[in-house]
């Protein structure tokens, strides 16, 4: 049984930890509001761009002469899984859920006879993927020195992916990230980004005829790289909001658990202290009676 000194030291240690988790919870809550606003503000732009892409792609026929980002390589034997994680921990199952979704997709593709490669964003997902696929990591994008990955990072990632695609290193690219629902819910999401899938056309609300100048194929060729950057940027924004939501929830749970542990240890400390006092009283009384 632990001594009174050991119990008191442990109670103080848990109280110090509780202060840290409470502080991190408040920081995550403050960051969440900003990250959520950024993610929600980026969705209408991505949606509108997807509608324009759908309108353009519905007016052309995809051929071998079409932009490669749209037509593809003509094969789907090599799949690149772009896994977007964070560089920080203490966010519950945020990173592990994304990695789990990517590994599940990798095993499914391998069962279909496909070759799987990985492009890793952030540090937290690397160890698990390295253990499972040590020779399949094509490239890693480091965001350690970036406080909040934004459009500049999305543009660099998109340029690297396009360069690898044009070199023939892969045929299809899938993006894995966490879509923000609310502070309690973050949904691991898989999305094909290369070749760019033709977005579903939006419902027609008017009979207006839209004429494009220059022609649809030329506009589409110019918009495809921007569309890819927008999808990556949106994924980074969703990830940031999801990370803060997961971190806030995890720190709240840790604070509650610390409080429960403090109560348990305090009861144990009081019982041990009372037992020690009772033992001393019994010894004093027994000694007095012996005299």
Q: Mind listing the pLDDT tens digit for each residue in 28-47?
A: 898 888 888 888 888 888 88
Cβ-Cβ contacts under 8 Å for 187 (sequence gap 6 or more):
178, 179, 181
**The pLDDT value given to residue 206:** 47
123/129 Cα distance (integer angstroms): 11
Average pLDDT in the chain: 84
DSSP-derived secondary structure letter, 88 = -
Question: Which parts of 68-171 are beta strand (E)?
Answer: 78-84, 115-121, 137-141
264/267 Cα distance (integer angstroms): 5
Residue located via tokens 């761009």? 49
Please determine, for residue 63, whether its predicted confidence score (pLDDT) is greater than 70: no
Q: What CATH topology corresponds to 38-249?
A: Pyruvate Kinase; Chain: A, domain 1 (3.40.1380)
pLDDT-derived band at 106 (thresholds 50, 70, 90) equals: very high
- Return the number of other C-beta atoms located less than 10 Å from residue 214's C-beta: 9
State the pairing for strand pair 185-194/172-182.
Answer: antiparallel
CB-based contact 279:214 (threshold 8 Å)? no
Please determine, for residue 204, whether its predicted confidence score (pLDDT) is greater than 70: no
Query: Strands across the sheet with 115-121, in order?
Result: 137-141, 115-121, 78-84, 172-182, 185-194
**The pLDDT value given to residue 198:** 67
**The pLDDT value given to residue 205:** 47
Please determine, for residue 207, whether its predicted confidence score (pLDDT) is greater than 80: no
- Return the number of other C-beta atoms located less than 10 Å from residue 205's C-beta: 6
CB-based contact 196:158 (threshold 8 Å)? no
**The pLDDT value given to residue 102:** 93
What percent of the chain lies above the pLDDT cut of 70? 88
CB-based contact 128:101 (threshold 8 Å)? no
Please determine, for residue 218, whether its predicted confidence score (pLDDT) is greater than 90: no
Can you read off the two tokens belonging to residue 167?
A: 């070199």
**The pLDDT value given to residue 15:** 92
**The pLDDT value given to residue 143:** 79
Can you read off the two tokens belonging to residue 92?
A: 């519950």
Select from 74, 77, 52 the least CA-distant residue to 65.
74
Please determine, for residue 212, whether its predicted confidence score (pLDDT) is greater than 70: no
CB-based contact 93:243 (threshold 8 Å)? no
Average pLDDT over residues 257-270: 91
């Amino acid at each position: 049984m632990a001594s009174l000194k050991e119990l008191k030291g442990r109670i103080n240690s848990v109280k110090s930890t509780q202060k840290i988790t409470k502080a991190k919870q408040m920081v995550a809550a403050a960051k969440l509001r900003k990250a959520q606003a950024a993610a929600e503000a980026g969705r209408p732009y991505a949606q509108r761009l997807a509608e324009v892409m759908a309108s353009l792609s519905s007016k052309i026929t995809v051929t071998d002469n079409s932009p490669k980002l749209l037509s593809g390589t003509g094969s789907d034997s090599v799949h690149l899984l772009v896994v977007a994680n964070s560089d920080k921990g203490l966010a519950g199952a945020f990173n592990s859920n994304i990695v789990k979704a990517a590994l599940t997709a990798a095993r499914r593709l391998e069962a279909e006879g496909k070759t799987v490669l990985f492009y890793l964003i952030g540090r937290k997902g690397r160890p698990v993927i390295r253990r499972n696929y040590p020779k399949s990591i094509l490239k890693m994008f480091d965001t350690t020195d970036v406080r909040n990955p934004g459009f500049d990072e999305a543009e660099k990632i998109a340029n690297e992916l396009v360069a690898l695609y044009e070199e023939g290193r892969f045929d299809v690219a899938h993006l894995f990230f966490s879509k923000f629902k609310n502070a309690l819910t973050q949904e691991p999401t898989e999305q094909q980004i290369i070749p760019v899938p033709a977005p579903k056309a939006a419902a027609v609300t008017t009979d207006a005829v839209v004429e494009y100048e220059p022609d649809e194929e030329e506009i589409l060729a110019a918009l495809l790289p921007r569309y890819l950057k927008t999808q990556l940027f949106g994924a980074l924004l969703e990830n940031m909001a999801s990370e803060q939501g997961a971190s806030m929830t995890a720190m709240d749970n840790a604070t509650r658990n610390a409080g429960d542990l403090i109560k348990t240890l305090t009861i144990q400390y009081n019982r041990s202290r009372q037992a020690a006092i009772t033992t001393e009283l019994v010894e004093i009384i027994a000694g007095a009676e012996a005299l």
